[in-house]
Amino acid sequence: MVFIVYSTQDEVSRNSAAALMAQESLREAQPIGGMRHFLMGHTDVLELGTRHLDSDFLDSTVSTDCIIFLSRHSSTAGVPAFTVHPEGNWSAEAKIGGRPRTLSVASPPWMLRVLSSMKRNNTTGIPVTYEATHHGPLLSTPSLYAEIGGNQDVWADKGLASVLSRSVVEAIDTEVAYDKVALGIGGLHYADKFTRLALEGKFAFGHIMPKYYAGEVGMIEQAISRSIPRPDVAAIEWKSLKSNQRDVIIAKLDELGLDHVRV
């Protein structure tokens, strides 16, 4: 069972939910925790009146295999993209939800389903990509963000919102084959190489630690344990890291008994 969650405070979220309701047959059900609740076959749709980032309470409110947040993503450069990512903070800061140095539970298979569905449904030419793990909420229920990144003009595009909602709905009913579950280490915030490898069926990625948090090796154990299923391997974007960084990371992976591959 899956919960699709949208927020009335997020324009992409509102537009995507409206597109979902236009595309699918939903019926309103009993509220959950005072929040509007809809049923779409075996899928639940929940309306938040607050920000997604502040919804740590969902662990005690819903029981489900996965929570999928429909959301916007703010891009400093305003570059449009369809994105998928897990939540958590790699550093001592937690400026936009969650807790410092704490990760939510990632769901590699569900993230790959959504990423692949975005790729199939996207005829706009806008990139489709994993993002590195970032921001809140902090959840023990497996969860992910399915987003439209860019600026205000991009967020207001109802055609893009329709692509997002259709992609999420199709992902729920479409399994995707992959060779191994992976923890991604290295690269940039927009994880282009990991995205390509995932779409080729090589890996389903859980948490992704970008190169600028490569010093947070103490969090690797948490990145492994806070993933359902747990990673089979760590995929290291080799050239993005310095040799001394790689040595420390590999030593930690060896200590934890997780193999690594160079990508």
pLDDT tens-digit profile of 145-181?
A: 999 998 888 888 999 999 999 999 999 999 999 999 9
Q: Does residue 18 share a domain with residue 108?
A: yes
Neighbours of 100 (CB within 10 A): 11
Which of 116, 148, 172 is the C-terminal boundary of a domain? 172
What integer is the mean pLDDT of 71-87?
88
- For residue 184, give its domain range: 180-262
Mean pLDDT over each residue of the chain, to the nearest integer: 96
- pLDDT tens for 228-248 read 999 999 999 999 999 999 999
> Is the pLDDT at 78 greater than 80, yes or no?
no
How buried is residue 152: exposed, middle or buried, by Cβ count under 10 Å (0-12/13-18/19+)?
A: exposed
pLDDT of residue 154: 84
Q: Does residue 184 share a domain with residue 144?
A: no
Nearest to 149 by CA among 139, 133, 161, 165: 161
Q: Does residue 203 share a domain with residue 153?
A: no
Amino acid at 6: Y
Contact 71, 147 (CB under 8 A): yes
CATH number assigned to the domain comprising residue 70: 3.40.630.50
Our count of domains for the chain comes to 2
Dihedrals phi, psi of 158, to nearest 5 degrees: -70, -25
- pLDDT tens for 13-69 read 999 999 999 989 899 999 999 999 999 988 999 999 999 999 999 999 999 999 999
pLDDT of residue 141: 98
Which of 172, 205, 227 is the C-terminal boundary of a domain? 172
Q: Does residue 135 share a domain with residue 22?
A: yes
What integer is the mean pLDDT of 204-224?
98
Q: Does residue 102 share a domain with residue 20?
A: yes
Q: Does residue 129 share a domain with residue 10?
A: yes
Which of 113, 141, 172 is the C-terminal boundary of a domain? 172
Q: Does residue 84 share a domain with residue 10?
A: yes
pLDDT of residue 153: 86
Q: Does residue 187 share a domain with residue 160?
A: no
Confidence of residue 76 (pLDDT cuts 50, 70, 90): confident
CATH number assigned to the domain comprising residue 220: 3.40.50.10700
> Is the pLDDT at 79 greater than 90, yes or no?
no
Q: What is the DSSP string of 128-155?
A: EEEB--------SS-EEEEEEEE-HHHH
> Is the pLDDT at 77 greater than 80, yes or no?
no
